[in-house]
Amino acid sequence: MTKLSVNINKIALIRNSRGSNLPDISKVAIDCERFGAEGITVHPRPDQRHIKYDDIPILKSVVTTEFNIEGYPNKEFMDLVITNKPHQCTLVPDPPGVLTSDSGWDTIEHHHFLSEIVNELKNNGIRVSLFLNPDLKMMEGAAKVGTDRIELYTGKYANKYTLNKEKAISNHIETANLAKSFNIGVNAGHDLNLDNLRYYQEHITNLLEVSIGHAIVCDSIYYGLHNTIQMYLNLLKK
Residue among 55, 162, 171, 155 at smallest CA distance from 100: 155
Cβ atoms of residues 202 and 173 within 8 Å: no
Cβ atoms of residues 226 and 233 within 8 Å: no
DSSP 8-state code for residue 37: -
CA-based torsion, 197, 200, 204, 210: positive or negative: negative
Which residues on neighbouring strands pair with residue 129, listed in sequence order? 90, 149
Q: How far apart are CA 77 and CA 60, in angstroms?
A: 15
List the Cα angle 41/23/50 in 5-degree steps: 50
Q: How far apart are CA 184 and CA 145, in angstroms?
A: 11
- Catalytic positions: 43, 70, 190
Cβ atoms of residues 204 and 197 within 8 Å: no
Cβ atoms of residues 143 and 105 within 8 Å: no
Q: How far apart are CA 111 and CA 177, in angstroms?
A: 22
Sequence letter at residue 161: Y
Return phi, psi of residue 57, to 5°. -65, -30
